[in-house]
Amino acid sequence: MQSPPARRLGKSLTKRASLNALAEALEYGTRLAVGFVVKPLLVAGLGPYFFGVWQILGRLTGYVLTADGRPTQALKWSIARQQTSTDFQQKRRYVGSAVAVWLLFLPLLAVLGGVLAWFAPSWLKIPIESCAAVRVTAGLLVANAVLTSLIGIPRAILRGENLGYKRMGLSAMVVCVGGGLTVLALYWNTGLVGVAAAATITTLLGGILFWFVCRTHVPWFGIALPSMAEVRRFCGLSGWFLTWRLVHQAMLTSDILLLGMLASVQLVSVYTLSKYTPEVLVTATAILAGGATPGLGGILGSGNLTKAARVRSELIAMTWLVTTVMGATVLLWNESFACLWVGPEFYVGTTANLLIILTIVQFVLLRCDAQIIDLTLNLRHKVLIGAASAAVSVLAAAVVLGVFDGGVAGLCLAFLAGRSILTVCYPWMVGRFLGIAGYTQLKGLLRPTATTALLFLLMLLLSQVVTIRSWTGLVLAVSTTMTTVGLFTFWVGLTSGQRRQVLQRIRG
C-alpha cells in the first residue's frame, strides 16, 4: 500500500502533467486556429509556387538549426532528472553549460545559415528575378533559428522543472500576435521577406515571454560559471542530442525536401495542405507526452522502475487512443475539409491520404519510447539506430521518387518501411531498461492493432462514398465521428485495467 507522501507525490505529478498538457493544448489550439485562418491567406498571397518555396525553406532552416548543439535538450532532461534536488547552484551551472555550448556552436550555425541563404535559389531553381527575395527570406529564417536556440533556454528550464503550465495563456497570445503580423505582411504585399520577418519578430516576443515567466516562477533561475568538466559533459550529451535532432529532421521533414527536389514545388503545396489535419496527431500526442515525460523523469531519477514502467504503459495506451480516434476521423473527413478550406485541387487523393495518416500514426507511437530513452540520458544506441532508419527512409524515397516517379504514395511507403526499424528497436530498448519482457509487449499490441486496422478500413471505405459541402455539416460530422469512434476505441481497444488507468488519470 502506498504511503501518504507517495500518494501526494503521485497526485502532484498527475496534476502537473495535466496542467502542462492543458497549457500545451491551449497554445496548440490557438496555433491551429491561427493556422486555419492564415494558411489559405498564405496560399492566396504568395501563390501555390512560392507557398511551396516557403515550406521548403522552413524545412531547410530546420536542418541548419541542428547545428546549434542542442543545448536546450541537454538542459531540459538534466534538470528533469534533478527536479527534487535543492542544489540550486548546480542547476545554475547547468544553465551556464547550456549557454557555453550555444556559444561554441554559434559560428557553425552562422556558416551553415549563410551557405543556405546564398545557395537556396540554385537548389530550388528559383527564377532569377526572385533570387534576392529568397536569399533575404532564408537569411531571416536563419536569424530566427539562432534566436530560437538561445531563447529556448528559459523554456527548457520550465519544462525540466515540470512547470511548463506557468506560461498558460501568454504563449497563446504570442501565437495570435504572430498570426496578425503575418496577415499584415501579406496585406502590405511584402511577399516571402515580410512573412519571414513576421516569424522572426514572433520568436523574439516568445523569448521575452519565457524569460519573464521563468524569472517569476523558478526560484533558482540564473546562471553560474560551469567547470570545464561540466561543459565537456554537456557538449558530449548535446552532441548526441544534436545528432538525434538531425535524424529527427530527416525522419520528419525530408519528405518535403525530396518532393521539392525530385518531383515539383507545386506537389509540395498539395502535400503539405493535405497533410495539415493529419499532422494535428503529431502535436496532440506531443502535448500528451510533453505533459507526462518531465514527471516520468523524476520517477526514473528516483530509481522506481516499476512505477516508471506503469506510467509508460499508461502513456502508450493514451497515445494510441488519441492517435486512433483522430486518425480515423481525419481519414474519413480530410477530403471534405481540404475541398472547403483551400479547394479540391489541393487534396492529395484517397490512397495517399491513408498512407500519410499511417506514417504519422507510426511516428507518434515510436516517439513516445524515443522520449523515454531521452530521460535515461543514454542516447548512443537510440541515435545510431535512428540514423540507420532515416538513411533507409531517405534512400528508399529518393529511389521511389527519382526512378519510379512514385509520387506521394511511394514516398509514404518508403518512410513506413524505413521507420519500421525504430518501431521494433525502440520498444525493445525501453523494455530492457524498465524490465518489460518482449513477449509482454507483443501480446499487448494485438488488441489495439486489430482495433486500429478495423476502424481505418471502415473509414477508408466510407470516405469514398460520403462527402460534406458545408462547414456546419463538417463540424457536426467530425464531432459525431470523434465521439462514436472514441467510445468504440475506448471499450474495444483497451483492456479493463487500461480503461481504469485512463479514467484515473483523467480524474486526476
- Model confidence pLDDT, tens digit, residues 79-102: 877 776 777 888 888 888 888 888
Among 226, 251, 266, the domain boundary falls at 226
Q: What is the DSSP letter of 389?
A: H
pLDDT band with cut points at 50, 70 and 90 for residue 479? very high
Is a pLDDT exceeding 60 seen at residue 292? Answer: no
Among 199, 226, 253, the domain boundary falls at 226
Range with the poorest average pLDDT among 136-150, 361-375, 401-415: 361-375
Question: Could you tell me if residue 95 is inside a domain?
Answer: yes
**309 in the same domain as 195:** no
Is a pLDDT exceeding 80 seen at residue 21? Answer: no
How many structural domains comprise the chain?
A: 2
Q: Are 293 and 285 in contact (CB under 8 A)?
A: no
**487 in the same domain as 383:** yes
**453 in the same domain as 376:** yes
**402 in the same domain as 303:** yes
pLDDT band with cut points at 50, 70 and 90 for residue 3? very low
Question: Could you tell me if residue 81 is inside a domain?
Answer: yes
Query: What percent of the chain stands above pLDDT 90?
Result: 26
Range with the poorest average pLDDT among 9-18, 258-267, 277-286, 353-362: 9-18
**213 in the same domain as 315:** no
Nearest Cα neighbor of 142 from 67, 250, 36, 236 is 67
Is a pLDDT exceeding 90 seen at residue 186? Answer: yes
**253 in the same domain as 202:** no
Rounded CA separation 390/250 (Å): 6
Q: What's the average model confidence in pLDDT over 366-391?
A: 79
Question: Could you tell me if residue 14 is inside a domain?
Answer: no
Place of cell 535524424: 247
Nearest Cα neighbor of 97 from 215, 229, 242, 208 is 229
How many C-beta atoms surround the C-beta of residue 294 within 10 A? 26
**271 in the same domain as 414:** yes
Q: What's the average model confidence in pLDDT over 333-341?
A: 92
Q: Which is more confident, 317 or 302?
A: 317
Range of the domain at 207: 24-226
pTM: 0.70
Q: Which is more confident, 132 or 22?
A: 132
